[in-house]
Amino acid sequence: MIEQEITLAEILLAREQRVAIQNELLSRHHAPVISFTMNIAGPVKVTGPSHRAFLWGCEQLRLGFAQNRLTVLEEQARCLPTGEEAYFAVDAPAEAVKALCVDIEEGSKGMGRLFDMDVIGLDGLKLERGVERPCIVCGKPGRDCASRRLHSVSELQSATAGRFAQGLKDLDGIRTASLATRALLEEVAVTPKPGLVDRANSGSHRDMDFSSFQASASALWPYWQSCFLWGWQDAHIHGLGQECLRSPVQTFAALRPLGRQAERNMLAATGGVNTHKGAIFTLGVLCGAIGRLWTEDKGFAEVQAILDEASAMTRETLEKELPAARWNTAGEGLYRKYGARGIRGEVADGLPSVRDVGIPTFRALLAQGVDRNHAAAVTLLHLIARVEDTNLLHRGGPKGAAWAKETAADLLEREPLPSLESISALDAEFIRRNLSPGGCADLLAATLFIDSIDNTTQKET
């Protein structure tokens, strides 16, 4: 986004053109017109954050039309240095359209104050708002501050920038948590999955079922948001100056107590069953990395940058810890016995299995028209065929783990797109051998999560 200063003449010209567009839409459709612009003080009218907030405001309007069953007859948009503009001719009474606009302006995470959603009625006049808007700087109601120029342009600018930063960060923190939760819920719902809990059966597990996973995924919601916010805070505002910002390694250290609290929340929700321990680690690091790299200008970073950041956060610590670890957890024991680094090694390396196997496989299948459930089930098979899964090692030893890998690879060789029946047959065989590829299930959840974060990024630009 190139930020550009503008002149008064440009503003006046843009205003004239706006009125012309409004009149043209009015006469073409004989319906009220929304004119949506941003309310931004100072000579620079379009910035990265204002652009993102504007797109979000347009999205809220479209959702509001759907919510209220309003038909849009025509939509236009212009992005000018004098500010972004969107127009909607709506087939509804002007009062109803105005009520929707006020609703969005009043909500919208504090950013709505910077939205000007004017509604022009059939008589060509702007509808009155009814409720007075508060001052952007001090919050006092009415136009008093503005008409008496009680605040300087720089005060107005910093209040505006603050509202954008806060509003967009809140939205993306919530979005991160929602997408992480969705990834966990979707992962457990994918059916059939060899040896794992799914909608058809509890796989090779006797202490947990489908509803344990739903309970656990619901309980973990606030944890993802916290990881995002901690990551953001460490990389942006810790201390007073640049030199006080926390390193990726420090962020990982700060996230670990949050992860342990999340594990206790999981145990409370499931009645003591370990459903999501691996996901708490993997997705927690990813949410922290997403937060660290998040900016109000661009929102979420590129996938590769997020995976690199996850590696930068964890590599040093995990490499130091794994060889020295005692037999506290199954994963550590397996490292001692077989040198298997498990999910920790994956995260330390920047999740190469997600990047090179999970995401490309899942996307290729979707692109072929395979439905999401089937695509995710086949993606899981590819992960099982390629990854050293410490859960398989734990239950089946090296022999069982090797058998699982080979069997998955054989099926993929026989049937490049295995049918759900073939995967169900594999499920029965895994259950008979008491094998459960829990590590691959975590990688599938990470794949679904990263895919959805990346889709959000692409949708916006």
Distance of closest approach, residue 140 Cβ to Zn ion, in angstroms: 5
Per-residue DSSP letter, 195: T
Work out how close the CB of 75 gets to Zn ion at its nearest, in angstroms, rounded to a whole number.
Answer: 34
Q: What is the DSSP string of 197-249?
A: --SS--TT-SS--HHHHHHHHHHTHHHHHHHHHHHHHHHHTSSSSGGGPPPHH
Q: Which stretch binds Zn ion (CB under 5 A): 77-85, 134-142, 212-220, 260-268?
A: 134-142
Stretch that binds Zn ion, among 142-150, 210-218, 404-412, 443-451 (CB under 5 A): 142-150
- Token pair 């962020």 is found at 251
Our CB check for Zn ion shows the closer of 41 and 120 to be: 41
Candidates 143-151, 325-333, 386-394, 437-445: pick the segment binding Zn ion (CB under 5 A). Answer: 143-151
Question: With binding defined as CB under 5 A, does residue 156 bind Zn ion?
Answer: no
Select the span of 65-73, 79-87, 145-153, 412-420 touching Zn ion (CB under 5 A).
Answer: 145-153
Q: Detail the DSSP E strand segments found in 102-161.
A: 115-120
Using CB under 5 A, which of 12, 19, 20, 138 touches Zn ion? 138
Minimal distance, residue 111 CB to Zn ion, in Å: 18
Q: CB-based burial of residue 367 (10 Å sphere; 0-12 exposed, 13-18 middle, 19+ buried)?
A: exposed
Which C-beta is closer to Zn ion: that of 135 or that of 392? Answer: 135
Q: How far is the CB of 149 from Zn ion (least distance, A)?
A: 10
Under the criterion CB under 5 A, does residue 153 sit at the interface with Zn ion? no
Among 86, 90, 127, 145, binds Zn ion (CB under 5 A): 145
Output the smallest distance, CB 316 to Zn ion, in A: 49
> By CB under 5 A, which span of 47-55, 131-139, 238-246, 364-372 interacts with Zn ion?
131-139
- Applying CB under 5 A, among 137, 217, 306, 343 the residue interacting with Zn ion is 137
Q: Do residues 32 and 97 lie in contact, with contact meaning Cβ atoms separated by under 8 Å?
A: yes
* CA pseudo-torsion sign 223, 226, 286, 161: positive
Buried b (16+ CB within 10 A) or exposed e, 186-210: bbbbbbbbbbbbbeebbbbbeebbb
What is the gyration radius of the CA atoms in the chain, in angstroms? 26
- Report the alpha-carbon distance of residue 364 to residue 256 in Å, rounded: 35
Which residues are near Zn ion by CB under 5 A? 135, 137-138, 140, 145
